[in-house]
Chain A
Amino acid sequence: AQTVTQSQPEMSVQEAETVTLSCTYDTSESDYYLFWYKQPPSRQMILVIRQEAYKQQNATENRFSVNFQKAAKSFSLKISDSQLGDAAMYFCAYRPNTGNQFYFGTGTSLTVIP
């Protein structure tokens, strides 16, 4: 079974500080892709960052970076210099190289404290 687990239902961070959101996944596939999506109160999911499993180098997008540990099947998201606009639900997603669907975790609600 292909599952994605986000063990932190809620997280909080002080503005300008750094926070890490955890994600683990279970798969027997060797080739796949991983994503972090942000869902603000508007409900519209927005892609934050993505990672190809065959790449060892961790992806970065400005203040967002990932720590991808393939052997451990772990894909955490680090947000540096947190801003009030970062407050949202964050979903980790996995997509195999074959198949049509994304598999999503249950999400982590991030609060940014001014």
Chain B
Amino acid sequence: GAGVSQSPSNKVTEKGKDVELRCDPISGHTALYWYRQSLGQGLEFLIYFQGNSAPDKSGLPSDRFSAERTGGSVSTLTIQRTQQEDSAVYLCASSLVAGPYTEAFFGQGTRLTVV
């Protein structure tokens, strides 16, 4: 696709429900990141996928959070038993190759509100 696509754009859910957030990276991009942006905070790293390598899950805040990337393309971030503190904007980014100088292209994010 032309850019990183995330869906839904906004999601309101009840506390305790599970949610799935989807990220469709730019075609051919091997690296994919998930970040969380809370109000007044910077971006918090959640998870990183690179090709067929084991993902770097070091940023996931609890075992309620999980993510997968199927076929090296689309990724889904799942939050189980949502809590109010999970309310945030969840940003996905992808890059062509893994490398520290490589530009990451971001999607427009999913704004999650837990009520």
Contacts and interface: CB of A to CB of B under 8 A. Distances in A.
Contacts of A100: 33, 48, 50, 56, 98
B43 A91 contact: yes
Interface residues of B, number: 25
A101 B100 contact: no
Contacts of B33: 100-102
A110 B74 CA distance: 34
Interface stretch (A12-20, A38-46, A67-75, A77-85): A38-46
B28 interface: no
Contact of B42 (A96, A97, A99, A106): A106
Interface in A74-114: 91, 93, 95-107
Nearest to B59: A101
A47 interface: yes
Interface string B87-112: 00101010000101101101111010
B106 A50 contact: no
Interface in B3-31: 3
Interface of A: 4, 32-33, 37, 42-47, 50, 52, 91, 93, 95-107
17 contacts: A37-B106, A43-B89, A44-B107, A44-B108, A45-B93, A46-B106, A47-B104, A50-B101, A50-B103, A52-B101, A95-B100, A96-B100, A101-B56, A101-B59, A103-B45, A104-B43, A106-B41
Given A100-B98, A101-B33, A101-B48, 17 more contacts: A4-B42, A43-B108, A43-B111, A44-B109, A45-B104, A47-B103, A52-B101, A91-B42, A95-B100, A96-B100, A100-B48, A102-B33, A102-B43, A102-B45, A103-B45, A104-B35, A106-B41
